[in-house]
């Protein structure tokens, strides 16, 4: 029974971490869109804003899951960042089916999400 409780705690922690990461993403993307509208940002500046959004969101999610699990926090942060990336790709495929990034851009995005999630788990 105790093992079931630990398993449930990890799942709940992962759901909280992903929810927190996506809430931060929504807020930061809303802020970025406001800046784009008011300041007429260039494409490169918007790209940097999106990368910062991924970094901060996954780092926070990694910290949340790192506080929820007692051991191997960096692996749980890596898993959280990977799940964030997979959800991001699924949502993108649903809402933007005709737009394809190159493989290098997709791998870079994965590395950013997984790496910052892992860092968040380590620093929790």
pLDDT in tens, 22-54: 999 999 999 999 999 999 999 999 999 999 999
Which residue intervals of the chain are DSSP H helices? 2-39, 43-68, 73-95, 103-122
Does the structure show a pLDDT above 80 at 12?
yes
Q: Are 61 and 20 in contact (CB under 8 A)?
A: yes
Residue 121 token pair: 């788990």
User: Residue 3: its pLDDT value, please?
Assistant: 65
User: Residue 67: its pLDDT value, please?
Assistant: 92
Find tokens 């759901």 and name the residue.
15
Does the structure show a pLDDT above 90 at 7?
no
pLDDT in tens, 76-105: 999 999 999 999 999 988 988 777 778 898
Distance, in Å, from the CA atom of 100 to the CA atom of 96, rounded to the nearest integer, reads 9
Distance, in Å, from the CA atom of 57 to the CA atom of 6, rounded to the nearest integer, reads 25
pTM over 0.85: yes
User: Residue 2: its pLDDT value, please?
Assistant: 64
């Amino acid at each position: 029974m105790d093992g079931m409780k630990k398993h449930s705690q990890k799942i709940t922690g992962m759901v909280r971490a992903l929810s927190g990461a996506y809430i931060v993403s929504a807020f930061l993307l809303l802020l970025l869109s406001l800046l784009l509208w008011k300041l007429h940002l260039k494409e490169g500046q918007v790209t940097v804003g999106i990368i910062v959004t991924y970094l901060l969101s996954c780092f926070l999610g990694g910290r949340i899951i790192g506080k929820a699990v007692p051991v191997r926090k960096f692996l749980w942060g890596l898993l959280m960042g990977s799940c964030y990336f997979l959800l991001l790709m699924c949502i993108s495929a649903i809402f933007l089916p005709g737009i394809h990034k190159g493989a290098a851009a997709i791998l870079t995005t994965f590395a950013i999400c997984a790496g910052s999630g892992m860092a968040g788990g380590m620093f929790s």
